Amino acid sequence: MQRVVTLLLAALIVLPVTSFSQTRKRPAAKASARPSLAQQKAAEIQREGATRVADQIKTLTKFIYLLGGVAKGLESVDDAARRNQASPAAIDQAAKSKLVVRNSIRNVRDGLDQLESHIRMTPELQRYYIRIAGVAAGAATAEQQAAANQFDKAGRSLLDVVSRLTDALQEM
């Protein structure tokens, strides 16, 4: 009898310990370090979108740099024309240059329209659209300013566009 009681006590002491050890959860297997095919494709689309934004920034900064020099030259010809000190050839050349600048700004706006549409229509890039939205409108403002012979203001409007694109690129 004493043996039975001893075995029961031993069983009561050992059973709870073994039952706790058996309910212990095993750690989950680690997820693979490699991203899935869908994640890789999304990352590639995001890199492509960032590249397109970077290309627009490069194009715009080069254009603004060139516009600065052209705008100063056009202003000086306009000032000389108001004082009747400009030659007809210089006035004609300035008019041609103004037309080229206006067409170039229109082309910039078209490129920004395409970029905006691409970002808006690509599901993997839509979260960046809030940063990109309105850059084409900024270029349209620059286009209107250039049409009014306000080339310096047009350049400043394009600088604002570059700033917005840079913010978006930084987020990407």
Question: For the chain, what is the total number of helices (H) and then of strands (E)?
Answer: 6, 0
Averaged over successive runs of 10 residues, the pLDDT of the chain (172 residues) comes to 56 53 58 74 87 91 89 82 81 86 90 92 90 91 92 91 91 83
pLDDT at residue number 57: 92
- pLDDT tens track for 115-154: 999 999 999 888 989 889 989 999 999 999 999 988 889 9
CB of 98 within 8 A of CB of 149? yes
pLDDT at residue number 166: 92
* Global pTM exceeds 0.85: no
